[in-house]
Chain A
Amino acid sequence: MTNNLKVWRAKFSYTQQDLADKIQVSRQTINAMEKGKYVPSTVLALKLASVFEVEVMEIFNLEDSDWN
């Protein structure tokens, strides 16, 4: 799964800490998600979508390898 969290964060000029505070996680979690090292739960994905006021699929995208 890929995501463009970093892009959305830049659009809103949030720091990692700003975003972390908004969705009640640690900065490490934001960092791990941006680097593609952590796939968040549905709840967290929906929270992120609601912070940026977009659909989840505008932030997260499935890759071909996710189907294997």
Chain B
Amino acid sequence: MKSIYLFPHTFKKIGLFLFLPCFMLLILFQFYDSPSFMEFTIWTPITDDFLTKTNPTHWIKNNLTDEILSITAIIGGLFIAFSKEKQEDELINEVRKSSLIWAVYVNYGFYILMTILVYGFDFLNVLLLNVFTLLIVFIVRFEWYKNKLKSSMDDE
């Protein structure tokens, strides 16, 4: 049976290598200023005076640190989450599916809880974290279940 595309097994390591440093730096730069050499003038389709404090043209000044870090972390996270296992079979496919449903539930549970608890600008940080909760919960649940399957074999 054909299943949805998954990355080759080696991408799991590449993903880990991309995700971990970028995610940690992303959190770090929530507390410290982004380096100024990452400041660029870029084009944007949306011009919002409130956020960009510039002119009505589509060219704005922006620090690209968080954009680059979050895109790299997301791609890395996708590689970790959706790379083939060494032995890809229907049981592992089943575990992947159930982990995905799990992750969606937890992700929105987290979102609802934060909507009730967090207000104002702090909510932007919640949204940033929420981008990653789906991937992180999925990966943790998937790896945990795989481990459970492995350890239940040791009594053989």
Chain A interfacial positions (CB closer than 8 Å to B) = 16, 20, 24-29, 31-32, 35, 38, 40-41, 43-44
**For A26, A27, A31, which residue has the most chain B Cβ atoms within 10 angstroms?**
A26
Minimum CB–CB distance for B20 against chain A, Å: 27
Q: A26-B89, A26-B92, A32-B91 are in contact. List 4 more A-B contacts (CB 8 A).
A: A26-B85, A27-B153, A28-B91, A38-B91
Whether B152 pairs with A29 at a CB distance below 8 angstroms is no
* A31-B150 Cα distance, complex, nearest whole Å: 9
List chain B positions with a Cβ less than 8 A from chain A.
1, 85, 87, 89-92, 94, 149-150, 152-153, 156
Q: Can you list 27 A-B pairs, Cβ within 8 angstroms, ordered by A?
A: A16-B153, A16-B156, A20-B87, A25-B87, A25-B90, A25-B91, A26-B85, A26-B87, A27-B153, A28-B91, A28-B150, A28-B153, A29-B89, A29-B90, A29-B91, A29-B92, A31-B153, A31-B156, A32-B91, A32-B149, A32-B152, A38-B91, A38-B94, A40-B90, A41-B1, A41-B90, A43-B1
